[in-house]
Amino acid sequence: MTFDFIETTINNIVDSIVGIGKFRGDVNKHNKNSLHNFNFNKRVMSDSFGLISRDSVKDYTSTSVSRTDVAYVNRLRGVDLSQLEDVTITSASTNQVLTYTGTQWQNAPVRPIEIVYIKYASDFPAPVGNVITLVDGYQYVIVRDVDITPNRLVLGQVTNIVGLNSETSILSSTIAPTEYLLTVSSSFPCRDVSFQATGGYAIYADGTAFPNAALDWRAVNFLNSRLGVIKNFNNAIITQCAFINVLEELLFDGSIDTVSLFLTLLVGTNPGSTLVSIPATSTITRRFRAFYSAIIAGAGVTAINVDPAASIPVESYILDNVNFSGGGTYIAGVDNTSNKTLFRLNVGIPNTSVVGQMYMNGNALATSVALINTFYKVAGVTLPGNNNEKYTVTDNRLTNGATIRRKFMAEVTLSFSSGSNNVIEFAIYESVSGLCVPSRTKSTANAVGRAENISLMCIIEHADGDYVELWVANTSASTDVTVTEMNFIVSQL
């Protein structure tokens, strides 16, 4: 390759000129043709450069130096393009972004990074049929109250809307009842801004077209609005937000990995309305979680309604340190007794407990004993206690339904009948490790074969699917044993 040289020099290149590639080589000549109208988008680690091929860049010459935000090029030495590894440059006159392949400059795809300040509705792109379409990748900064009536916004890919603060940066519009102020189809980061939709809904967000799409909101308020729909997103993370005077629900539908409301306020006083809904068609693949938040549901208002048919993993409907008030209905559908829920330290609703109880009164079904000193599961018809949560009762068995592994105290009190003076041994059988050795307890029947008020206990560790039962052995004879009364309780420590 034949190289010509540039007689203009680079005097100062600073850290803010960034990009990719490396400058290498030595300077020894200068070319009279200039390349001044290019910014090198590369942090330069040395001012020792090679040569620039005039043939490679002859169509991109100018006579003026182009500045960056905080740095400019005022000295250009000859650079050998063969020594530039994937360097990207931008033409100051055409804004064309190019990258050098080693033999030629080619268009370089670069995501636009543009900030647009919105003081008036006219600062947005021109509406078409009352629809303002925002540009992919742009950040729109709402600097004051802006009313775009009768228009609405359709966001581009990863469009970002921010404000100076959510008290003074308010975007509002009066729209038709079936319209949405915000229509979102990909990731939507948003912060420090308020939205108000009069007539229509505030938001329709469907991330179906972008499987990794996420909503990430901080200090975002929705005021006096029918809220709308969020569906088919990877995550919806809502932090330090406020939903004030909610007129209709925010509905989470489709498939969403995680919905998180943290340090968030919801207020609704419109009778017959709901603040947050998860319908039967919703699949929460990881968790729905509201924590350290406040929900005020006035008379006739439902705070959170989760349809029992909605798909939510065990203990993944989480309410933690949420304060409910206002006199409405705070929880509808799935409640604290469901295996789907994990409610703790909340005010205004029953919190979750992991507790199980089964009992027998007046049981006449004997446990068959074929061999001495051999344990058998106690026979009889067991009934569940009235306050069981996350434990189910079937056939003298308490089965855990909680995902989180916890320690429990298992306690049994019983009475039985067997052979005269028979020594009967009882034990708690635990599915994880078998007979609980510390629980093994012997009792001797009286002359008529009766014994009462025998108790045994054991500390166990359970998670979903683990279970406990009462077992019995006759150490005196192969005589059947009838447990006439039994109260078996498992309670979380």
For residue range 184-229, list pLDDT tens digits in order.
Answer: 999 999 999 999 999 999 999 999 999 889 999 999 999 999 999 9
- Residues 314 and 312: their CA atoms lie apart, in Å, by 7
Q: Is the pLDDT of residue 416 over 90?
A: yes
- Residues 24 and 77: their CA atoms lie apart, in Å, by 12
Degrees to nearest 5, angle at CA 202 with 196 and 206: 150
Residue 169's pLDDT is 97
pLDDT for 88-107, tens place per residue?
555 555 555 556 565 565 65
Q: Are 406 and 463 in contact (CB under 8 A)?
A: yes
pLDDT for 276-291, tens place per residue?
999 999 999 999 999 9
Q: Is the pLDDT of residue 305 over 80?
A: yes
- Residues 278 and 304: their CA atoms lie apart, in Å, by 8
For residue 167, the tally of other CB atoms under 10 A from its CB is 11
**Closest C-alpha among 184, 121, 170, 120 to residue 148:** 121
Same domain, 386 and 429: yes
Distances (CA, A) of 368 to 24, 279, 376, 406: 90, 50, 8, 34
**Closest C-alpha among 257, 192, 193, 272 to residue 226:** 272
Q: Residues 246-267: what's their mean pLDDT? A: 96
Q: Are 473 and 374 in contact (CB under 8 A)?
A: yes
For residue 110, the tally of other CB atoms under 10 A from its CB is 13
Domain boundary (312, 344, 376) is at 344
Q: What is the DSSP string of 52-78?
A: --HHHHTTS--SSPPB-SS-B------
Same domain, 264 and 282: yes
Q: Are 347 and 320 in contact (CB under 8 A)?
A: no
Q: Which residue do the tokens 């009364």 mark?
A: 485
Q: Is the pLDDT of residue 173 over 60?
A: yes
Same domain, 304 and 405: no
- Residues 305 and 288: their CA atoms lie apart, in Å, by 12
Same domain, 407 and 438: yes
Instruction: Identify whether 199 is part of a domain.
Output: yes
Same domain, 69 and 96: yes
Residue 403's pLDDT is 86
Same domain, 80 and 119: no
Residue 420's pLDDT is 93
Q: Which residue do the tokens 């008020």 mark?
A: 453
**Closest C-alpha among 63, 65, 71 to residue 42:** 71
**Closest C-alpha among 166, 117, 122, 176 to residue 148:** 122
Instruction: Identify whether 350 is part of a domain.
Output: no
Same domain, 24 and 75: yes
In three-state secondary structure terms, 113 is coil
H or E stretch at 444: strand 441-444
Please tell me the least confidently modeled range out of 58-67, 143-152, 209-218.
58-67
Strands (DSSP E) found in 302-405? 302-306, 317-325, 329-333, 341-344, 355-361, 376-377, 383-384, 391-393, 398-400
- Residues 216 and 237: their CA atoms lie apart, in Å, by 5
Instruction: Identify whether 349 is part of a domain.
Output: no
Distances (CA, A) of 55 to 101, 426, 493: 14, 95, 80
Domain with 487, as residue range(s), is 355-492
Q: Which CATH number is 458's domain given?
A: 2.60.120.40
Same domain, 310 and 224: yes
- Count: domains in the chain: 3
**Would you mind telling me the total number of residues written for the chain in this entry?**
493
Q: Are 434 and 408 in contact (CB under 8 A)?
A: no
Question: What is the rounded radius of gyration, in angstroms, for the C-alpha atoms of the chain?
Answer: 36
Q: Is the pLDDT of residue 151 over 50?
A: yes
Tokens of 242: 């406020």
At 114, the pLDDT band (50, 70, 90 cuts) reads confident
Same domain, 106 and 119: no
Residue 211's pLDDT is 84
Same domain, 300 and 360: no
- Residues 216 and 260: their CA atoms lie apart, in Å, by 10
Residue 441's pLDDT is 95
Q: Which CATH number is 198's domain given?
A: 2.160.20
Domain boundary (297, 324, 344) is at 344
pLDDT for 318-332, tens place per residue?
999 999 999 999 999
Residue 49's pLDDT is 31
Distances (CA, A) of 99 to 26, 37, 76, 102, 109: 22, 15, 18, 9, 9
Same domain, 224 and 159: yes
Instruction: Identify whether 255 is part of a domain.
Output: yes
Please tell me the least confidently modeled range out of 49-53, 120-124, 179-183, 315-319.
49-53
> Which residues, 6 or more positions from 296, have their beta carbon under 8 angstroms from its beta carbon?
265, 266, 267, 268, 324, 325, 326
Report which residue type is found at 276.
V
Q: Are 479 and 419 in contact (CB under 8 A)?
A: yes
- Residues 429 and 437: their CA atoms lie apart, in Å, by 9
Same domain, 316 and 365: no
**Closest C-alpha among 441, 429, 439 to residue 466:** 429
At 25, the pLDDT band (50, 70, 90 cuts) reads very low
Instruction: Identify whether 238 is part of a domain.
Output: yes
Q: Residues 374-392: what's their mean pLDDT? A: 94
Instruction: Identify whether 454 is part of a domain.
Output: yes
Residue 98's pLDDT is 58
- The model carries a pTM of 0.69
Residue 78's pLDDT is 43
Domain boundary (76, 110, 144) is at 110
Q: What percentage of residues in the chain have a pLDDT greater than 90?
A: 72
Residue 36's pLDDT is 34
Instruction: Identify whether 56 is part of a domain.
Output: yes
Instruction: Identify whether 254 is part of a domain.
Output: yes
Residue 27's pLDDT is 30
Distances (CA, A) of 401 to 12, 305, 363, 406, 466: 67, 22, 27, 11, 8
Residue 85's pLDDT is 47
